[in-house]
Amino acid sequence: MFLGISYRLVELQVVEAAQLSEKARTQRSISLEVPANRGDILDRNGEILAMSIEKDTIFATPYFVEDTATTAKELGKIFDEDWEPIYDKLTEGGGFKYLRRKAGRSIAKKIREAALPGIDMYPESERFYPGGTLASHTIGFLGMENNALTGLELVFDKKLRGKAGSLEMERDTQQRPIPGTPLISNPPTHGEDLILTIDKKIQYKAPAELKKAVEDAEAIGGWVIVMDSVSGEVLAMACEPTFDLNKFSQADETLFRNHIVTDVYEPGSTMKIVTAAAALEEGIYVPESVFTLPGTLAIGGYTIGESHPRGPEIFTLSQIVEKSSNIGAITLAQALGKERLYGYAEDFGFTAPVGIELPAEARGMIPMPDDWSASTLATVSYGQGISATALEMIRAVNVIPSGGTLVNPTLIRSGDDSSATSGAINKQGGNGKRVLSRKTAATMSKILQRTVETGTGKRAQIPGFAVGGKTGTAKKVEPGVGYAPGKYISSFVGFTPVEKPGITILVSINEPQGVYYGGVVAAPVFAAVGEYALQRLKITP
Amino acid sequence: MQAARQIFPEFQELVLDFPARQAVSKPAARPRFTFNKVFIALTIVAFACFAHMSQRMLIAQNGIDIDRLKSQIKAEERDAQILNAKATSLKSPGRIERLAGRLDMVKPDGVTFIEVPSQPLDPASSSAGLARGATSLSRPAVLGRLVAKLSFLVN
């Protein structure tokens, strides 16, 4: 017997000691997760665009509810809703029932005061977007379980989320942690803040002006991008119609689509900038070169004309761009040849994604020169038969004000923390790939300035500032249909001031009714947003 | 014992003659010494236990206080978060514009740019200007200053 007892003692004290002490520890301890605070999203001036607020989630443990009917009625009063569904929830079985996720302070206070048996709550973080609709497509949002669903919230989820910690404490008989008894403590790593290049006020102004234009043109929507010409920092980016980030669950899912990033469309006449710049860069022509252009041109079985029909006319190269002549662009392209035109389109970034920090970025398409038919050279020269995203288009046009370099748009402010929220636009950027010489870029700037002063973009003028830009009116393509009759995307892409790099803006109106030209429907938005942005950024003429 | 002495007086002698120093003194002294030591040890242990318990109580009490303070800090942080969110909402440009509309406020006039001739100023006004610390400015510089001055309209 003595031997038996001794054996058992050795077994308990030595052999199973570690296992048993662990069992004892788990029996008297409770493990709690210490959630990490999600980082805020800030604009370039440190204004909050997205933040997290701790709220209370109210739940029931039906086993512990004493008087179900009374409890349900009491909860109904607190929640200001019918008590019967609550009663059903409390009686349908199960050990845990959500009653109200992320409840407000007043409800949580009432629940605390009521002290109903079986009803309890725990803190849960809720994302709050103070701007509501402000930059909704860019910022994105989180689901009910705080899982990132779209936008920057999704792309930078790891950085913003941080890492939850844990805390193990001794517990009492009612499973409550005993204060001051931490056994193991792993503090959480809080999420980092994300500083954007967005300027909150320009971001407010741009969609407000866009919305007016969309309503005036009875269009189905539109989009606008405002970008620093040198650094590529996006100051504002918005789609219309939009949705409130705080009520995204009530919005139509089609509104979540960020057309700027996910949609491709024909650049239209905006492409003439590339064609003309290539002809100048190659030294084939000068701005004053004269062309006698027919009213129509028959190529590859198609007859191509101008958007505003005319007879034979004499144009200079400058006028081809200013008056947006299709025949003129074809003439320049024929002088360049398909290999060189494709090469320049590639250099202007039409075949490569921008790499913006947003999910699901689409990429434009230009057929390889070997696949070009007789008419492809002609259509490519004035922006048909190819596709690009709005971001690719603004990047391409921005080659001119940036002095000939291809600068990728970005949404994330770089630099150390002290300079990150200084708000000033970055004049140190512009380290992109060189596409044009400074001389050609300056010449194109002047041509595009005349386009606004005397050509198709007159409504983009800003008092006191020189503006350069190009209109674009592209036919919409529908799968299986081809060009959809009467459906256009009307754009204006421009920059200001012309003398020194400042801001580049793209405005597109989707399916305007009535007068649909980019110079009519989109250019006024450019002028209004540009004027505001110049004053806001204290850019002088 | 008294009775025994009366009956057997020689017993008394016997007892008296007995080497009392050996039998009586030594066994009595040893238990008292041990008892004292044990008593002192027990007292120390009791005090130690009491001190330990007091410390434990103090630690527990402090733990509860810390926990309460932590809860208070968390509640205050929560309030600060909510106030911060409210402040940010109040600063929202959309809200300010809506309120301005409700109050029938009108938008300021647009910025007016004044073209200043680039010719040098006449000597009289120039010297007066220089006397006030002014310098001759080129047209872009003047326009720049005007924009900077008028920019408050949009900020």
State whether A460 and A510 are in the same domain. yes
Strand A405-406 to strand A433-434: parallel, antiparallel, or no bridges (unpaired)? antiparallel
Distance from the Cα of A455 to chain B's closest Cα (Å) equals: 24
Q: Quick one: how far is CA A182 from the chain centroid?
A: 44
DSSP β-bridge partners for residue A239: A223
CB contacts of A531 in chain B (<8 Å) are: 110-111
CB contacts of B148 in chain A (<8 Å) are: 538, 540
| Contact: A464, B91; criterion CB under 8 Å | no
Of B85, B93, B140, which has the smallest distance from its Cβ to A201's Cβ? B93
| Contact: A540, B81; criterion CB under 8 Å | no
State whether A218 and A333 are in the same domain. yes
Structural domain range at position A156: 28-195
- B128 pLDDT more than 80: no
| Contact: A180, B63; criterion CB under 8 Å | yes
| H helix count then E strand count, chain B | 7, 0
CB contacts of B151 in chain A (<8 Å) are: 535-536, 538
E strand or H helix that includes residue A59: strand A48-60
The answer to whether B155 contacts chain A (CB < 8 Å) is yes
Confirm whether B99 is domain-assigned.
no
State whether B82 and B6 are in the same domain. yes
Spatial distance between the Cα atoms of B152 and B132, rounded to a whole number of angstroms: 25
State whether B119 and B146 are in the same domain. yes
State whether B57 and B86 are in the same domain. yes
Phi, psi of B6 (to 5 degrees): -65, -40
State whether A191 and A209 are in the same domain. no
Confirm whether B95 is domain-assigned.
no
The answer to whether A497 contacts chain B (CB < 8 Å) is no
DSSP output for A168-233: EEEE-TTSPEEEEEEEEEE--BPPPPEEBS--HHHHHHHHHHHHHHHHHTT-SEEEEEEEETTT-B
User: Residue A116's domain is classified under what CATH number?
Assistant: 3.90.1310.10
State whether A285 and A350 are in the same domain. yes
Q: What are the angstrom distances between the C-alpha of A460 and each of A50, A457, A466, B29?
A: 33, 6, 10, 117
State whether A190 and A204 are in the same domain. no
Nearest CA in chain A to B88: A130
Distance from the Cα of A141 to chain B's closest Cα (Å) equals: 17
Q: What is the pLDDT of residue B136?
A: 42
Q: What is the pLDDT of residue A173?
A: 77
The answer to whether B76 contacts chain A (CB < 8 Å) is no
State whether B82 and B117 are in the same domain. no
Q: Convert the pLDDT of each residue in A343-359 to its tens digit.
A: 999 999 998 889 999 99
User: CB of A38 within 8 A of CB of A161?
Assistant: yes
The answer to whether B107 contacts chain A (CB < 8 Å) is no
Interface test with B, best of A535, A536, A537, A539 (most B CBs within 10 A): A535
Helices (H), A62-156: 68-79, 83-91, 105-114, 136-139, 151-155
Confirm whether B98 is domain-assigned.
no
State whether A42 and A166 are in the same domain. yes
Q: What is the pLDDT of residue B7?
A: 60
Strand A41-42 to strand A194-195: parallel, antiparallel, or no bridges (unpaired)? parallel
User: Residue A379's domain is classified under what CATH number?
Assistant: 3.40.710.10
Spatial distance between the Cα atoms of B124 and A208, rounded to a whole number of angstroms: 50
Distance from the Cα of B86 to chain A's closest Cα (Å) equals: 8
DSSP β-bridge partners for residue A465: A462
State whether A182 and A210 are in the same domain. no
User: CB of B151 within 8 A of CB of A535?
Assistant: yes
Nearest CA in chain A to B94: A204
| Residues recorded for chain A | 541
The answer to whether A187 contacts chain B (CB < 8 Å) is no
Into how many domains does chain B fold? 2
State whether A181 and A229 are in the same domain. no
Confirm whether A336 is domain-assigned.
yes
CB contacts of B72 in chain A (<8 Å) are: none
Beta-carbon contacts below 8 Å between A and B:
86
Over range B28-49, report the average pLDDT. 83
Into how many domains does chain A fold? 2
Structural domain range at position B63: 2-90
Q: What is the pLDDT of residue A93?
A: 73
Q: Convert the pLDDT of each residue in A485-500 to its tens digit.
A: 889 999 999 999 999 9
Which of A174, A195, A216 represents a domain boundary (last residue)?
A: A195
CB contacts of A539 in chain B (<8 Å) are: 147
Confirm whether A493 is domain-assigned.
yes
- B131 pLDDT more than 70: no
Which of A172, A195, A218 represents a domain boundary (last residue)?
A: A195
Q: What is the pLDDT of residue A307?
A: 82
- B127 pLDDT more than 50: no
Residues of chain A with pLDDT under 50: 416-418, 426-430
Q: What is the pLDDT of residue A429?
A: 44
Name the percent of chain B lying above pLDDT 70: 53
Q: What is the pLDDT of residue A432?
A: 79
Confirm whether B125 is domain-assigned.
yes
State whether A100 and A236 are in the same domain. no
The answer to whether A312 contacts chain B (CB < 8 Å) is no
CA torsion sign for B57, B63, B66, B68 is negative
Q: What is the pLDDT of residue A436?
A: 96
State whether A229 and A188 are in the same domain. no
Task: Provide the angle, in degrees to the nearest 10, between the axes of the packed helices A326-336 and A338-347.
Answer: 100
The answer to whether A204 contacts chain B (CB < 8 Å) is yes
Q: What is the pLDDT of residue A533?
A: 96
